[in-house]
Amino acid sequence: MKRDSRLSSVLHALLHLAEHQAPMTSEALAKCMATHPVVVRRTMGMLRAAGLVASARGHAGGWRITADLAAVTLRELHDVLGEPAVFAIGNRNETPGCLVEEAVNAALDDAFAQAEALLLERFARITLADLAADFARRHAERRAQDHERGDRDAL
Amino acid sequence: MKRDSRLSSVLHALLHLAEHQAPMTSEALAKCMATHPVVVRRTMGMLRAAGLVASARGHAGGWRITADLAAVTLRELHDVLGEPAVFAIGNRNETPGCLVEEAVNAALDDAFAQAEALLLERFARITLADLAADFARRHAERRAQDHERGDRDAL
DNA sequence: TTTCATGTAACTTCATTTATTACAAATTAG
DNA sequence: CTAATTTGTAATAAATGAAGTTACATGAAA
């Protein structure tokens, strides 16, 4: 099964937009995400419909964030993307033809529902601001490492 | 995305086998699961490799359970099926090209890992015997309903 | 020795995501 | 005004992976 990576994509895009204050074109976003500009427009279009980003055409156009980073959770983005199916595993028939299948479906559905609830609850606790902060931390760490390496090389 | 329904399939098959004490042919199993006999053989073959079922060829051949219903958990079946990917959602690139992607992946991976752990923990707590008991309960309930309807129709 | 049934490889179908092409519409630079 | 830039969107193709199907070999029992 091919995994839906749109949530990952939009997070990547939104954080890049948060770094830039100028709008970024679909082409620029596509390049840094190794995908196609049309895919970017298609996916970002859903965020625009939800009022999280804005786009402008023509020269100096592109995408920019309009939402508050601290107010947007992964859960909201998941919803904005249409709440795609979370699991790659599922029941053979959703409408059971026999009682055996009914019992099997009930057990699996229950377990999946619990796992999905946990996942969405975790998503609801993570904001774009959290990710941006984590990025900043990694960035500082990387710079510190580079610096250390530079010192060592300079000996 | 097409969901992997093999776990659901083998549960259905195993419970049917548990009801029958005589072996069931791939064709019989396929018929009650609305699938193809070869698909049954392919999937059940993985359970045979794990020693959970046995198959016999020729007249009066077919599939039978060799494992103790109370000892087989959904978790074990999931493992036997090769631990297929649980989620239909995932990271765009598993090997991040930039720090932004690293931060995004880390957050998503963490949430998915927690949800998967919960799911597998639930799976580990459900045995085939539990499902068989649930089936028996449903069966009794259904019979009671049928009986009631019979009484009403007889008025 | 015929029939039944599994074992397995090879191939097709089907569903779904992502990629691509093509072109319309809008905006700005010159 | 016109050309360049950039989004908007439809339509189509490629890629992926599960499930379905065909074909035939193997083995067991009547």
Average pLDDT over residues B66-94: 91
Is the CB of residue B130 less than 8 Å from the CB of residue B138? no
Chain B interface includes A109 (CB < 8 A): no
Condensed to tens digits (0 to 9), the pLDDT of residues A40-95 reads 999 999 999 999 999 999 898 899 999 999 999 999 999 999 999 999 998 887 77
Residue B63, CB, strand C, below 7 Å: yes
Is the CB of B27 less than 7 A from some atom of nucleic acid strand C?
yes
- pLDDT beyond 70 at B140: yes
pLDDT in the model for residue A1:
61
Residue identified by tokens 């028939």 is A93
Give the pLDDT of residue B94: 75
A-interface mutation test, from B100, B102, B116, most A Cβ less than 10 A away: B100
Res. B155 pLDDT band, cuts 50 70 90: low
Confidence at residue A2, expressed as pLDDT on a 0 to 100 scale: 76
pLDDT digits (tens, 9 = 90+) for B105-125: 899 999 999 999 999 999 999
Question: Hey, is the C-beta of A82 within 8 angstroms of any chain B C-beta?
Answer: no
Scan for tokens 């709440």, then name that residue. Answer: A83
Q: What is the 3-state secondary structure (H, E, C) of chain B?
A: CCCECHHHHHHHHHHHHHHCCCCECHHHHHHHHCCCHHHHHHHHHHHHHCCCEEEECCCCCEEEECCCHHHCEHHHHHHHCCCCCCECECCCCCCCCCHHHHHHHHHHHHHHHHHHHHHHHHHHCCEHHHHHHHHHHHHHHHHHHHHHHHHHHHC
Q: Which residue has the higher pLDDT, A121 or A20?
A: A121
Q: A 25-64 residues with CB below 8 A of B?
A: 32-35
Q: Which one is predicted more confidently, B143 or B132?
A: B132
State the CATH architecture for B6-154. Orthogonal Bundle (1.10)
* pLDDT above 80 for B6: yes
pLDDT band at A106 (very low <50, low <70, confident <90, very high): very high
Q: What percent of chain B has pLDDT over 90?
A: 65
Of A19, A32, A92, which is closest to B8 when you measure between CB atoms?
A92
Question: To the nearest whole angstrom, how far is the Cα of B4 from the nearest Cα of chain A?
Answer: 5
Which of A33, A103, A108 has its CB closest to that of B92?
A: A33
- pLDDT-based confidence at B150, cuts 50/70/90? low
Please determine, for residue B70, whether its predicted confidence score (pLDDT) is greater than 70: yes
The domain locations on chain B are 6-154
Q: List C-alpha distances in Å: A37 to A3, B95, B141, B146.
A: 20, 21, 57, 60
| B45 CB-to-strand C distance under 7 Å | yes
Q: Going by C-beta distance under 8 Å and a sequence separation of 6 or more, which residues neighbour residue A66? A: A51, A52, A53, A54
Residue A48, both tokens:
């625009």
Mean per-residue pLDDT, A26-43: 92
Contact B90 A142 (CB under 8 A): no
| Residue in B with minimal Cα distance to A85 | B88
Architecture (CATH level 2) of domain A6-84+125-130? Orthogonal Bundle (1.10)
